[in-house]
Chains A and B, each alone.
Chain A
Amino acid sequence: MTYYIFTLVFFLFDYFILAMGLNIQYGITGILNFAYIGFVAVGAYVTGVAAMPANTVGQHYILGLGLPFPFNLLLGGFAAMGLSVLIALITLRRLRTDYLAIVLVSLSLVFYDFCNNYVSLFNGADGLYNVPEPFAKTLGLGSNNFIVFFACLTGVVSLIMWFVMSRVMRAPLGRTFRAVRDDAVTAAALGKNTFWMQMKAMMIGSFFAGIGGGLLIQFGGSFNPTAWLPAETFVVFAVLIVGGAGNNIGMFVGALLVETLLIHLPAFLPEIPGHPGLIEYIDTVIVGVVLMVMLWFRPQGIVPARLRKTASFGVDERLDEEAGELDRTTALAGVGTRAEATR
């Protein structure tokens, strides 16, 4: 029982982190990152191989540094961030939304295909397993106690990340991100380098993705390519949209409702005899339907992003940073409704 509860707690906090990362990219800056799970996977793999010893019988992988816990996790985060720089350089410069979405979806399929086939990188289709559990030896934890301990640790990590993210979102940087999302042309006209802003959002978001992925592999001890087909990106989008794009509390609520209640709770149901995996399939269909219903009836999510106060037009030394905020029609979580068209 403790095992179940703390597994759910772990996924709650982990998806909170993942959703915050996607939120800064999509909810705040408006980059439709359909390859998000690719960055999570890179974070997970790098965290894993950084923790594992140089050689393990029966597994092929690169690095194998045997780093202790927080350092391998950070390395995973930075690896995801580095990859995002590379991808942003190729894709962000001149692609409009749907091109970008296509390229990113393709990219996530290629990551999958490549890792699946190129065994010496991350052990191919088998994935990594027997990744050392952090602190389990030093603290002498059994597998049940480890789950409790690690769920709490993830909670602490997610609180730190939440603190950092809410600072970023409140800072001038966050306002500029929103300005780029609402009207990139206006933001550029006011002297903002929109490409660089989107790049920063990609980097911050991917770091969160990498950390979230690293925690996943440390919790389960294994990771394989089937765990990150595009469907998994969709789950993070569902968390984001159900919770309410654009604010962090919403991400927590979304993670609780979608990831914990809709996805992981049914996983504990017994299988229907003769139909392996049927519960999971139906469950995924339900997640898709819930997302569509939410988008139609409450596109701002359960916890909508609050409207920000308008900067005054008087002399204000911070005005340059807030100028993008003048465009307020879409302030409700970036919902471009009919109002935007008639603007």
Chain B
Amino acid sequence: MTLLWLSVGFGLVTTSVLALAALGLSLQFGITNYINFAYGDFMALGGFFTYFLNNEALHLNIWLSMAIATVAMGFFGVLINRLLLGPFARRFTSSHYVLIVTFGLSLIMLNVIYSIWGADVRFYSLPPGSALHIGPLLLTTSQLIVMGIAVVLVGAVHTILQTTRLGKSMRAMSDNGTLAMTSGIDTRMVTTVTWFMSGALAGVAGAVLGVSEGNLTPAAGELFLFVIFAAVILGGIGSIYGALAGAVVIGMSTEISAAFINPAYKLDIAFVALILTLLIRPNGLIARPGMT
């Protein structure tokens, strides 16, 4: 029983990380309509930039480094869209090309990270924290902060989407880009803001992944990408609330299953969920209209 509650605790943390990552991927997919295969490496870069501020350059507090890296990754996302992906997406109507470009970008980013930081496993320097008993759960301070970050950011994105003019424009673009443009929405600006949010969420997700896993490797983002895919497809691709629901299901099921089977296979649980979704409900839990 203790083991079960312990894995529920891990499940909550993984869900938090996954929710942040899936949210960023879904926002960007909803607006630009192509998948960014380099997203996992955006996460890794965010994680390593945090590491750089935390351990190498300024020796800042981990959470402060994370905040700076998040904003930096936001600008990086905008830059990548402006200089690379945007031009490719506009030039070729067939989505094949931009998918191959993001696939290539993923490889480039991964190897740039390897060139700078090497293949060694890295560790953040976390402030010493104690384990806390919350109900039946046992969680460390940093795990609680990770969950807090997830709740705050997901709440913030929700508020932006539902109450602000910008959020309304984003939802309009995600439903029908052409119609949004003809209605006078500044689609270029909305795309830029979306890339900023997507990049920032990737950055923070990469850093909290490093905190929750306890270590940092360049390839971690790439392996995690596939768990994000499972969550996003389960929820219904492009649907933001679906992605969150998918994150909960996948995050909890991978961690809780690890209490019963060999934890090495927890990725495969996510994959089984992915295949079952495709067979039973290919549009996901919350299907986006016109996305078959």
Contact = CB atoms under 8 A, between A and B. Distances in A.
Interface string A32-65: 1010000000000000000000000000000000
B97 A299 contact: yes
Contacts of B103: 34, 230, 234, 237
Given A288-B108, A299-B97, A336-B93, 5 more contacts: A105-B226, A110-B267, A113-B264, A285-B115, A292-B105
B108 A285 contact: yes
Given A113-B267, A338-B91, A231 B107 contact: yes
A186 interface: no
Interface residues of A, number: 54
Nearest to B33: A98
Contacts of B105: 288, 292
A123 to B, nearest CB: 15
B99 interface: yes
B131 interface: no
A295 B274 contact: no
A335 B264 CA distance: 42
Contact of A335 (B92, B108, B229, B282): B92
A97 B278 contact: no
Contacts, number: 138
B282 A117 contact: no
B111 A285 contact: yes
Interface in B90-113: 91-97, 99-101, 103-108, 110-112
Majority SS at the chain B contact face:
helix
Contacts of B123: none
A90 B93 CA distance: 27
Contacts of B110: 231
A241 interface: yes
B132 interface: no
Contact of B35 (A26, A94, A98, A292): A98
B218 to A, nearest CB: 10
Smallest CB-CB A-B distances: 6 pairs: A336-B94, A288-B108, A117-B264, A281-B111, A288-B104, A284-B111
Interface string A210-237: 0000000000000000000111001001
A5 interface: no
Interface in A69-113: 90-91, 94-99, 101-103, 105-107, 109-110, 113
Given A91-B278, A95-B278, A288-B108, A109 B91 contact: no
Contacts of B223: 109, 113
Interface string B257-292: 000001011011001001100110010000000001
B75 interface: no
B233 interface: yes
Nearest to B87: A296
Size bin of chain B's contact surface = 35 or more
Interface in A294-329: 295-296, 299
B230 A113 contact: no
A337 B90 CA distance: 9
Contacts of B151: none
A109 B97 CA distance: 22
B37 interface: yes
A267 interface: no
A278 B115 contact: yes
A338 B229 CA distance: 30
B52 interface: no
A341 interface: yes
B243 to A, nearest CB: 13
A204 to B, nearest CB: 20
A30 B233 contact: no
B93 A340 contact: yes
17 contacts: A26-B96, A94-B292, A98-B99, A101-B37, A101-B99, A103-B233, A103-B278, A110-B267, A110-B268, A229-B222, A230-B103, A234-B107, A237-B103, A238-B104, A281-B112, A292-B101, A337-B92
A237 B107 contact: no
Contact of B265 (A106, A117, A299, A337): A117
A230 B103 CA distance: 9
Contacts of A99: 233, 237, 282
A292 B230 CA distance: 28
B88 interface: yes
Contact of A337 (B84, B91, B104): B91
Interface in B108-125: 108, 110-112, 114-115, 118-119
A177 to B, nearest CB: 15
Contacts of A98: 34-35, 95, 99
B226 A292 contact: no
A270 to B, nearest CB: 17
A292 B101 CA distance: 6
A237 to B, nearest CB: 6
Contacts of B84: 292
A109 to B, nearest CB: 5
Contacts of A334: 94, 96
Nearest to A283: B111
Contacts of B279: 90
- Among A90, A241, A281, A336, the one with the most B-chain Cβ atoms within 10 Å of its Cβ is A281
Given A94-B292, A299-B92, A282 B226 contact: no
Given A105-B229, A285-B111, A295-B100, A110 B271 contact: yes
Given A98-B99, A237-B103, A284-B107, A106 B274 contact: yes
B115 to A, nearest CB: 4
Given A98-B95, A106-B226, A299-B92, A237 B265 contact: no
A98 B102 CA distance: 12
B169 to A, nearest CB: 23
B93 A337 contact: yes
Contacts of A336: 92-94, 96-97
